[in-house]
A and B are shown apart, each in its own frame.
Chain A
Amino acid sequence: MTLPSFNRMVNNLGGPVRKSTSCCKTFAKILLSHLGLFILVGVYAAVGACLYLTLERSEEEKRRFEKQLISLDISDSKKYIVNYVWFLNTQNLTKADYHLQVMKTLRIFHDFVVKTSSDPNINYDGHVDSWEYDWTFPKSLLFTVTSMAVIGYGHIAPKTYKGRIFTIFYNVVGIPLLLVFLANIGDFFAKSFKYIYSRVCCRWCRLRRRIAEARKGATLLEKRTLWKDSVGYETYMSTAKVEVPIAVNLSVISAYLMMGGAVFSAWEGWDLLTAVYFTLITLTTIGFGDLVPGNSFLDLEDGFMAAVKMAVTVLFCLFGMALLSMCITLMQEQLVNRTRWLLTQLGILEEDIDPMEKYKYKKTKLGTVMETRTERDGNERLQLTNVEEGESTARRPPTVVSISQEVM
Chain B
Amino acid sequence: MNHTERTPEPRGRFLDLGAHQQPRRGSADPYVARLDTPPAGGTPPAGGTPLMSMRRPPRPTTPSTTPVSPAHSGTPPPRIGAIQSESMPASRRSSLLPPGLDSRRSSLTKKSLTDLVQDARKGIKSVTDTSMKAGQKNPFAYVKDKTVSVSGHMKDATVGASQWVASQTSKTAKAAMEQAKSGLSIGEKLTLFTVEKISTFSRKGFTHVFMFLILAGYTALGALLFIALEAPHENEEKQDIEAERTRLVEALWEHHVQNQGLNASRWEGMIYGLLRPYDEQLYHSWSVGISPDTEDRVWTFWKAMFFCSTITTTIGYGHISPRTNAGKALTIVYAILGIPIFLILMADFGKLFTRLLKSLFVFVRKLYRTATCRRVRKTRAVQSVKPPSTPSPTPPLAVPESTSTDFEKHEDDDQGQLREREPFLSEERRRNERRKEDKGEEDEGGDDVREKTTGGACCCSSWKRKVSEWCSSLCRRKKAPEPPTPESEEEEDLVIDDNFNLPITLALLILLLYIMCGCFIYTMWENWTYFEAFYFIFISMTTIGFGDYVPKHPAFMMMTTVYLVFGLALTAMCINIIQEKLTDTFRHASVKLKESFGYIMAAASQGEEAALPEGKEVEIAEVHGSQKAKAGANADTVTVKKET
Interface residues of A (CB under 8 A from B): 7, 10-11, 14, 17-18, 21, 24-25, 28, 31-32, 78, 81-82, 85-86, 88-89, 95, 98-99, 102-103, 106-107, 110-111, 113-114, 117-118, 120, 125-126, 147, 150-154, 157, 161, 164, 167-168, 171, 175-176, 179-180, 182-184, 186-187, 271, 273-274, 276-277, 280-281, 284-290, 325, 348-350, 352, 354-356, 359, 361, 368, 392-394, 397-404, 406-408
Contacts and interface: CB of A to CB of B under 8 A. Distances in A.
Nearest to A99: B249
Contacts of A271: 325
B104 interface: yes
State the main secondary structure of chain A at its contact with B. Answer: helix
Interface in B48-83: none
A63 to B, nearest CB: 13
B544 A147 contact: yes
B100 A400 contact: yes
Given A82-B271, A182-B642, A280-B335, A168 B538 contact: yes
A21 B623 contact: yes
B518 interface: no
A408 B271 CA distance: 95
Interface stretch (B35-43, B148-156, B383-391, B584-592): B148-156
A147 to B, nearest CB: 5
B477 to A, nearest CB: 30
Contact of B548 (A157, A359, A404): A157
A182 B642 CA distance: 8
Contact of B256 (A89, A359, A407): A89
A270 B245 CA distance: 30
A354 B283 contact: no
Interface string B463-483: 000000000000000000000
Interface of B: 21-22, 24, 99-101, 103-104, 107-110, 142, 146, 149-150, 153, 156-160, 162-167, 169, 203, 206, 245, 248-249, 252-253, 256, 260, 264, 267-268, 271-272, 275, 278-280, 282-283, 286, 291-294, 310-311, 314-318, 321, 325, 328-329, 331-332, 335-336, 339, 531, 535, 538-539, 542-548, 608, 613-614, 616-617, 620, 623-624, 627-628, 631, 634-636, 638-639, 641-643
Contacts of A78: 272, 275, 279
A10 B110 CA distance: 57
Contacts, number: 253
Chain A to chain B: the 4 pairs with minimum beta-carbon distance, closest first:
A152-B544, A286-B316, A288-B318, A154-B546
A325 B544 contact: no
- Greatest chain B CB density within 10 A among A89, A152, A187, A325 is at A152
Given A276-B332, A286-B310, A399-B104, A180 B166 contact: no
Contacts of B203: 350
B476 to A, nearest CB: 24
A154 B158 contact: no
A85 B270 CA distance: 12
A86 B627 contact: no
Contact of A352 (B146, B169, B631, B642): B146
Contact of A398 (B150, B159, B164, B643): B159
Given A152-B316, A361-B159, A106 B545 contact: no
A111 B293 contact: yes
Contact of A82 (B248, B268, B547): B268
20 contacts: A7-B613, A10-B613, A21-B624, A107-B293, A113-B286, A117-B286, A154-B545, A168-B538, A180-B636, A273-B328, A287-B544, A348-B206, A355-B150, A355-B157, A356-B160, A394-B158, A397-B109, A400-B103, A400-B108, A406-B162
